[in-house]
Structure 1
Amino acid sequence: MALVKTCKEQLRCMRNDENFDLLVDKVSSFCVEHEIEVPNMDDLYVIQGKSLRKAPRKTNHHHYKVELFFEVIDFQLTELDDRFAEGNTELLICLACLSPNDSFVAFDKEKLVRLAHMYPKDFTDRDRSALQDQLDIYIHFVRSDNDFSQLRGINELAKKMVEKGLHRTFAYVYLLVQLALVLPVATASVERAFSAMNIIKGPLCNKMGDQWLSDSLVVYIEKDVFSCIGNEAIMEHFQTMKPRRGRLN
């Protein structure tokens, strides 16, 4: 997350006149070297195929700087802000405190308690109070146990806790570990569902009901599972759902 923040700051620094002028100098040198015509930046910019008389009054300098250079940087910043919004950033920073790498160097009790506050349905006020007590004992135990010294990643931490029975001893800590492991899968599943929805509910099927849409999405998303089911089994199941006038062949 620190690298993401640095990337944003670097992009904002690039968005100034000095950096644009440096880019123009580099591009001009490249064009001269390869005998490519360089447009005069003070000339009026004309869109190919458009009349000069009807063209908007702007220079090449304005077009390349504002409509291309600044536009690309703003697009990248918007994408980063959307992907790493303030809430998402805080969530990822708190999740990172569970990492067992380098003898749990990233451990931060305060941030892990804050992580529990982000899941009010999983942690009551009483649970969060118990979590604070467990975290103190948990971090002292895992740092003193050699079995936890070479772990890499939260997935290995979860396996080791189950092997040693610590998922029951530190139940609230293990719940945080489970939530951390489920988060990427849940996020990917939601993105897959929205992508599939654009395919299933297209212009020809835009009046599809919610239940029919949901059933169709399950079949489309889990196509690897449904590909193993034969047509005969589907027809037989459909036939036995309720009495039919005739039997499907």
Structure 2
Amino acid sequence: PSNPTGSAYEKEELEAIAQCALENNLLMISDEIYEWIVFDGFRHTSLASLSKEVQNNCVVINGVSKCYAMTGWRIGYIAADAEIVKQVAKLQGQSTSNPCSISQAASIEALTGPHDDVKEMVRQFEKRRDIVVKMLTAIPGVTCNKPKGSFYSFPDFSGLYGKKDGNGKTLNGSLEFTEYLLTTKKVAIVPGIAFGADNHARLSFAASLDKIEEGIKRIQEAVELLK
């Protein structure tokens, strides 16, 4: 699953990407930080699991910030060919040195211990995801695909572009639209232009259900004020 869309690659898609990379002698980098946060029975496939040849030609990036809600512990890691890891360690050792021993011990426990809490967290995210999509798509001019994973939705607000706010200002893109939501209803979402997709904006549902529902209610109220 990815940020900002919540989309995820099927195994067959990964196989096609890997084959293309191998044929062109490209090193693959796979960010799998959201591997456990998947919905509707979707199964994450690690790129390195496809074959030994793929494994030898890819770098898997991961960490404990997302799936284990350990953002402040600042632990990330890679899995790659030993020579690549050796060179990365040289760079890492001279830039940030190393994370504290407490963070390392806690991360090992998270990775190797029971995943009951993770599964419950994912169930709650899936529930919130469904509510977010339902509420957003009920707003005229807004469309939203259902994310397969992560805790983001990436609705399309372009159906509202060209409309004017109460001051007569025309909203022509995601920057102006998100600024309008912030100043009018105190709702902060990320403009899609930051991700190269100006028709969209990113919402996170890593918040309480009450706050999510209140936030989208305010978005709807702001949309109703447009002319």
- Give the TM-score normalised by the residue count of structure 1: 0.25
Q: Which structure is richer in relative contact order (CA contacts within 8 A, separation 6 or more)?
A: 2
Name whichever structure is richer in helix by fraction.
1
**Counting strand residues as a fraction of each chain, which structure ranks higher?**
2
When normalised by structure 2's length, the TM-score is 0.26
Structure index of larger Rg: 1
